[in-house]
Structure 1
Amino acid sequence: MDNDRQPESEMDLARHASFLAAAATLPPAARLCINRCNLPAWILGSLAFQRHPVPLAIDGVHDFHSDLCRRLDPIADHGARAQCFADYMTVRFCLEDLEEAGLTPGRRKKSRANANYLRLVRGWSFDSDGREGAVLKYWAETRFGLLARHHGRPLHGRGSEDYLWFQGEAVRGIYGTNAVESQLDLLYTYCQYELARQHPGTTHLTLHRGINSIGDHEVLGREPDGSYLVLLNNLNSFTSDRERADEFGDYLLTAQVPRAKVFFYNRLLPGMLKGEDEFVVVGGVYGVRIATL
Structure 2
Amino acid sequence: MKTEIGVAPDEALGCDKSTLLCRGDDKATLPREARLPINRCNLPAVALGSLSYQKSPTPLLLDGVAELHRNLFDRLYAAAPGARAGVFRDYLTVHFRLERPDEMGFTGLRKSRAKANYVRLIRGWSFDSDSRDGAVLKGWVESRFGLMPRYHGQPMFDPAGDAYRRYLEMRSHGLYGTSALEAQFDLVYGFCQLELALRHPGARHVTLYRGVNRMADHEILAKGAGGRHVILLNNLSSFTCSRERAGEFGDYILAVDVPLTKIFFHCGLLPGVLQGEDEFLVIGGVVDVTLSTL
Asked if 1:102 corresponds to 2:143, the answer is no
Q: Deviations over 1:135-181 (max 9, x none)?
A: 00011000000000001111122111110111111000001111110
Counterparts in 2 of 1:1-293, with a 5 A limit?
Answer: 21=25, 25-78=29-82, 80-104=83-107, 106-109=108-111, 111-223=112-224, 226-275=227-276, 277-293=278-294
Percent identity over paired residues: 55
Deviation at 1:114, TM superposition (A): 2.2
User: In structure 2, do the counterparts of structure 1 residues 23 and 48 end up closer, same or farther at CA, with 3 Å as the change threshold?
Assistant: farther
Partner amino acid, structure 2, of 1:84:
V
| Ranges in structure 1 where 5+ consecutive residues have no aligned partner | 1-13
* 2:113/2:176 contact within 8 Å kept: no
Deviation at 1:45, TM superposition (A): 0.3
Greater percentage in helix = 1
Q: Secondary structure at the match of 1:267?
A: coil
What TM-score comes out, normalization by structure 2 length? 0.90
Between 1 and 2, higher relative CO (CA 8 Å, sep ≥ 6) is seen in 2
Q: Secondary structure at the match of 2:285?
A: strand
Deviation at 1:126, TM superposition (A): 0.8
* 2:92/2:184 contact within 8 Å kept: yes
Alignment: residue pair count? 275
Partner amino acid, structure 1, of 2:91:
Y
* 2:33/2:157 contact within 8 Å kept: no
* 1:35/1:145 contact within 8 Å kept: yes
Q: Deviations over 1:207-249 (max 9, x none)?
A: 0000011112100002466510000000000000111000000
Deviation at 1:73, TM superposition (A): 1.2
Decide which moves more: 233-242 or 272-281.
Answer: 272-281
What TM-score comes out, normalization by structure 1 length? 0.90
Partner amino acid, structure 1, of 2:38:
I
Q: Secondary structure at the match of 2:284?
A: strand
CA distance in 2 between partners of 1:195 and 1:155 (Å): 32
* 1:45/1:284 contact within 8 Å kept: yes
Q: Secondary structure at the match of 1:136?
A: helix
1:5 aligns with none
2:15 aligns with none
Larger Rg: 1
Deviation at 1:75, TM superposition (A): 1.8
Deviation at 1:129, TM superposition (A): 0.7
* 1:220/1:230 contact within 8 Å kept: yes
* 1:210/1:248 contact within 8 Å kept: yes
1:8 aligns with none
Q: Deviations over 1:60-86 (max 9, x none)?
A: 1000001111111122223x1101100
CA distance in 1 between partners of 2:27 and 2:77 (Å): 35
| Ranges in structure 2 where 5+ consecutive residues have no aligned partner | 1-17
Q: Secondary structure at the match of 2:281?
A: strand
* 1:264/1:279 contact within 8 Å kept: yes
User: In structure 2, do the counterparts of structure 1 residues 227 and 148 end up closer, same or farther at CA, with 3 Å as the change threshold?
Assistant: same
CA distance in 2 between partners of 1:132 and 1:271 (Å): 18
Deviation at 1:23, TM superposition (A): 8.7
* 2:122/2:273 contact within 8 Å kept: no
Q: Deviations over 1:90-148 (max 9, x none)?
A: 000000111111111x3222x12321111110000111111100000011000000000
Superposition CA RMSD, Å:
1.8
